[in-house]
Amino acid sequence: MLRIDGLNASYGSIRVLKDVSIQVPAGNVVSIIGANGAGKSTLLKSISGIMKINGGRILYKERNIAGMRTNQIVRLGVSHVPEGRQIFAHLTVCDNINLGAYHYFKRSNRLEIKERMTRVYHMFPILEKRSKQIAGTLSGGEQQMLAIGRALMGRPELLLLDEPSMGIAPLVVREIFNVIKQLNQSGVTVLLVEQNAKAAIKVAHNSYVLERGEIVLEGSSAELLNNPKVKEHYLGG
């Protein structure tokens, strides 16, 4: 579904991604783990078009989307939940969710939008209770749920999740990983970036390790969980 070949990206003169190549087969969960500053968020931003890249190909459904505008890439079914809950803080929860469907918001799609909204509220019941509240006043965890919910409104076929568990209570983290599994079972392909390496590797079919902008390791959950290097650096020994 997604294939990245030789991706390079930099902030000014600092190279952040060096010849990164990964594959995300349709229907899979693929996770990327790596230390702070390894370039994980930059990779996701490159895919969704927020970050201008310097070279390489990003093939989504056999089509090179590198250099396309962000607001067009969403239309193709790529939804990015950025790091740090980038919700629309001044709008209500309900408006945030509706805006997730912005790119196909038409009278004729009303039923679909309503259906998706019901599904989001079913996944995160707290959002329904808070639906008239200003989003900026939600708790951190609630904002994260809202950000995920908003992305789900956008008809995602490929979901890019950037540290969905950051700053969230362990119990809710488990819930969010369950949501990821559920979504995957319903046919959504997921590319997941996580600090919580163990949970990420477990939920994924396949994982990559990113170090200082380079892919250094790739493997299935079983392979990586037993890899001594991964154990030492990412799973806490």
Ligand X SMILES: Nc1ncnc2c1ncn2[C@@H]1O[C@H](COP(=O)(O)OP(=O)(O)OP(=O)(O)O)[C@@H](O)[C@H]1O
Given the rule CB under 6 A, which residues bind ligand X? 11, 16, 34, 36-42, 83, 195
What is the residue type of 19?
D
Pick from Mg ion, other proteins, ligand X, none: which does 82 bind, CB < 5 to 8 A by kind?
Answer: other proteins
State whether residue 91 is helix, strand or coil.
coil
Pick from other proteins, ligand X, Mg ion, none: which does 130 bind, CB < 5 to 8 A by kind?
Answer: none
Nearer to other proteins, 31 or 48 (CB): 48
What is the residue type of 178?
N
Burial of 237 (0-12, 13-18, 19+ CB in 10 A): exposed
Q: Which residues of this chain interact with other proteins, rule CB under 8 A?
A: 48-50, 69-71, 74-75, 79-80, 82, 86-91, 95, 98-100, 102-103, 105, 134, 136-137, 150-151, 153-154
* φ/ψ of residue 31, rounded to 5: -120, 155
Nearer to other proteins, 114 or 229 (CB): 114
Q: Does 42 bind Mg ion (CB under 5 A)?
A: no
Question: How does strand 158-162 pair with strand 78-81?
Answer: parallel
* φ/ψ of residue 234, rounded to 5: -115, -20
Nearer to other proteins, 134 or 235 (CB): 134
Residue 6 Ramachandran class (φ > 0 left, ψ -120 to 50 alpha, else beta):
left
Nearer to Mg ion, 41 or 143 (CB): 41
**Shortest Å distance, C-beta 165 to other proteins:** 19
Pick from ligand X, Mg ion, other proteins, none: which does 88 bind, CB < 5 to 8 A by kind?
Answer: other proteins
**Shortest Å distance, C-beta 136 to other proteins:** 4
Q: For Mg ion, which residue has the nearest CB?
A: 41
* CA neighbours closer than 13 Å in the CB half-sphere of residue 231: 7
Under 8 Å between Cβ of 212 and 38: yes
Residues 6+ apart with CB under 8 A from 164: 81, 144, 148, 176, 180, 192, 194
- Interacting residue ranges for Mg ion, rule: CB under 5 A: 41, 83
